Structure formats: C-alpha cells, structure tokens
Amino acid sequence: MNAFPPLLPTDPDAPDTIVANDWSAFAKLTRMSDHWARPDWEPGRRHLYWFLTFAGHRALATEAAIGQQVIAHLGMDPVPADNLHVTLAAIGDARHIPAHAVSDLAVRAATVAGESFTIHAHPMAGSSGAVRFSLSPWTPLTRLRDALARLTPATGEAATHGPRPRPFRPHLGIAYNNTDRPAAPVIRAVAGLRHRAPVRLDIAHVDLVELRREHATYRWDLLHRLPLARPDATLNPGSGGPDILGRRR
C-alpha cells in the first residue's frame, strides 16, 4: 500500500501543519478502498510488529468512540477501545522468525529505544482505507521507529544495507473502510469532528506484538514490552531489559 498522505508536511513537528496536510490529502480523495483486501493477510497468517498501544487510556477511548458514533451510519469497522494502536514498524512473518530470535531482538531493541515522550492525537482525518487521528509531533515517533526498523530479527544487529523502511506517516486509526465507495460522504462526516480538542498521549513503552486478523479487526499477542527511559532518569545498566509478557489481546 502507498504511503498516505503522499506529501510530507512542511514542518513534521508543527501540529497545525501536520493536521492541515493530512486533511488536504484526505479531502482530495474521490474513492475509498477496502482496507481488508490485502493479499498478505490470508486466514491464519501472523506478523510481528512494533506497536504503541493505549489500553486503559480513557480520554483516547472516549474521543475515538465519539468519532465512531459520528461515522456509524457509514458502516465501517470500528477499532475496539483496547485495540487502538500506532503501527511503528513491521518485523516479519511470524512463521519464519524463531522464538529465540524474537527474544534477542527485544533485548537489543531495549538498548536503542531511547526516552519517553509526549504526542497528541488530533481529530480527525483519514486515508483511502480508514478514518484516523493525525499525530504530532512526528520527530520522536520517527526517531523511535527508525531505531527499531534498523534492527533485524535474525541477528538483532543494525542493518547497514538493503531496502529502506517503507515511508512512515504516523497515524492512529479509529475505523477501517470495508468496501469500495465514494469518498465524499466519508469526508463530509469526518469534517464535523475536526473542531475537537487533541488528546495528549504520554509514550512510556513500545510493544513487540504478534498480530493476527479476527474477522473485521486486528488482535495481537503481546510478546515483549520495552519501557522507554524517563528523560530525567539516570540509566541503570541492569534495569533496561524488556518485560517478557506473552499476554493475550
């Protein structure tokens, strides 16, 4: 799938610029496509990803629910509150990555994940396949994403050659489009949400997950949670490892 919006904002850390750029691209769409028409997601397939997750974040869940209610008449597939997430980077097909390599990757990732940070989720825009929050600023998200994307699951070593990661456009989806349709009715509905205040998101950890599809939503197993260092904390070399959880989602 192509990166959306196709053009980068002129200032990746200015909220107004990011929000305007996202909306401009979304408002120009003439049709929306079926998010689920993806050949890499046949039944039973599982993939490993780096995610930011927000289970228990009441303000975000409330704002997402308001947006979902406004667009409910469109029949899209809403993202459950405990499934709200930001996709940072793909790791690979879970069938081809042994458990020991995943654990090694998590341990090495803990050394490059860096510090915690704060972003904001801005209502509301979309892409050709979803309705979603815009996120600002981009720099801390991009820095974290790039650090993780450079790690290979086979060895955990930084990649020095090979294909570049896919273009990154930070976003947080609230509903997936499930059919080919004209974009105009969706754009009109979403436009009514744009006046709402942004939601503050304090990013204190990053998750390594095994992702799967269940009907019209995504679910995942949480394999490793990497705490991000507090900016004012003195690092303890013995306390920087990932938590190994194996929780079901």
pLDDT at position 160 over 50? no
DSSP label at residue 248: E
Domain spans in the chain, listed from the N-terminal domain onward: 44-230+238-248
Q: How far is CA 80 from each of CA 22, 85, 151, 196, 238, rounded to the nearest angstrom? A: 23, 10, 30, 20, 37
Question: 154: pLDDT confidence band, cut at 50, 70 and 90?
Answer: low
Look up the pTM and report it. 0.89
Mean of pLDDT over the chain: 89
CATH architecture assignment, domain 44-230+238-248? Alpha-Beta Complex (3.90)
Quick check: 150 and 159 in contact, CB under 8 A?
Answer: yes
- Tell me: the pLDDT tens digits for 109-138? 999 999 999 999 999 999 999 999 999 999
DSSP label at residue 83: G
Average pLDDT over residues 87-97: 92
